[in-house]
Amino acid sequence: MAKAVQKITLSPSRDIPFNKLVLSQSNVRRVKAGVPIEQLAESIAQRTLLQSLNVRAVVDGEGNETGMFEVPAGGRRYRALELLVKQKRMAKTQAVPCVVREGGIAEDDSLAENDERVGLHPLDQFRAFKILSDAGLSEEDIAARHFVTPAIVKQRLRLASASPKLHEVYAEDGMTLEQLMAFSVTADHARQEQVWESVSRSGYDEPYQIRRTLTEATVRASDRRACFVGVEAYEQAGGRVERDLFEDDGGGWLQDVALLDRLVNEKLAAEAETIAKEGWKWISVAVGFPYGPIAASESLRANPPISPPRSRRPLLCSIPSRPSSNSTTRMRTNCLMKSISGSAKSKRP
């Protein structure tokens, strides 16, 4: 005949006034660690007490209960409640939910409660922040409620928005956190998955290699074309800029290269029209010119104003590598004049 399995009995719970509780010397936590008591107190003030205290009845020398209860497990929560009482934000007679333990060893209970606690996986935290954001909380609200900076919230929300397939790989330890961060430079899930498939097979899966692959078809904000047009103007025209929230990205990457090139050509054409009014007979504009014409030409100063040139001296204009803030000066200081006949460098007329 099979032996009957003995059923366990859980310890009873009850509400006990705070002023009937005292810290126990059996609490094994001695070194301060984790969230500061002040932050824990604020969390309790916002959400009330989320986890009961573990208590034992205090008895006198004859073994009779005194009506007081000691707290061997939950000391930090007790101190946070005590702080709220001192701040007069909670009544000292406030009922506190407690689990009343009998038997066993108090130190064993305290040790088990701390040893068996498991922190959230980072991915669970990212997803939880995303749920709060979807519920209408701003990044500032989330930061205030969880005692982090808005920048950290922004980073975690970015990681939460990565491809679900990458999340699965990360959850199974197939990808490091640094690699997942690298993938966050783009919001394109299909592209993220494609690059992961490639780098995971090739072995070129260092974070910097992932970033480089994901941004190879984009233009850096420090590129001379982006500087010439201006990132703000590019965005106003409907262009998108992806930013790296985990490393210095130099202003990010412009995603719509065709749009950027169109804006560059339009601005160059407008600058050329302005310069043509000064009397130049021939002007050619481009993002860049071959080395030959540039090497055989000389730069003209913007000040004093350029005088109308001789009719057979063409003006070639290109975008400088490091444009200045004034667009007209940019064009003029990079205007290269060369004789059509190929004669020696000409001087200003």
**Residue 275 pLDDT grade (very low, low, confident, very high; cuts 50, 70, 90):** confident
Q: Measured between alpha carbons, how far is 56 from 54 in angstroms, rounded to an integer?
A: 7
So what's the pLDDT on residue 155?
A: 96
Per-residue pLDDT reduced to its tens digit, 124-154 = 999 999 999 999 999 999 999 999 999 999 9
pLDDT-above-70 percentage for the chain: 83
List, by residue range, all CATH 1.10.10 domains of the chain. Answer: 122-216
Lowest mean pLDDT among 107-116, 145-154, 281-290: 281-290
Say yes or no to pLDDT of 102 above 50. Answer: yes
Q: Measured between alpha carbons, how far is 85 from 119 in angstroms, rounded to an integer?
A: 28
Q: What mean pLDDT is predicted for residues 4-18?
A: 91
**Strands (E) located in 172-276:** 219-220, 241-242, 253-254
What value does the mean pLDDT of the chain take?
85
Beta-ladder partners of 266: none
Per-residue pLDDT reduced to its tens digit, 246-273 = 988 888 999 999 999 999 999 999 988 8
So what's the pLDDT on residue 221?
A: 93
Per-residue pLDDT reduced to its tens digit, 327-342 = 444 444 344 333 223 3
DSSP 3-state of 317: strand
So what's the pLDDT on residue 1?
A: 63
Per-residue pLDDT reduced to its tens digit, 39-96 = 999 999 999 999 999 999 999 988 899 999 999 999 999 999 999 999 999 999 999 9
Interacting residues of 129 by C-beta distance below 8 A, sequence separation 6+:
142, 153, 156, 157, 160
- Max mean pLDDT range (94-108, 109-123, 309-323): 94-108
Q: Which CATH number fits domain 13-115: 3.40.190.10, 3.30.465.10, 3.50.50.60, 3.90.1530.30?
A: 3.90.1530.30
How does DSSP assign 272-298, residue by residue? HHHHHTTT-S-EEEES---HHHHHT-E
DSSP 3-state of 256: coil
Q: Measured between alpha carbons, how far is 313 from 242 in angstroms, rounded to an integer?
A: 44
**Residue 103 pLDDT grade (very low, low, confident, very high; cuts 50, 70, 90):** confident
> What angle do the packed helices 139-146 and 150-160 form, to 10 degrees?
110
List, by residue range, all CATH 3.90.1530.30 domains of the chain. Answer: 13-115
Does residue 316 or residue 220 have the better pLDDT? 220
**Residue 5 pLDDT grade (very low, low, confident, very high; cuts 50, 70, 90):** confident
Q: What mean pLDDT is predicted for residues 185-203?
A: 94
Q: What mean pLDDT is predicted for residues 198-226?
A: 93
Domain 122-216: top CATH class: mainly alpha
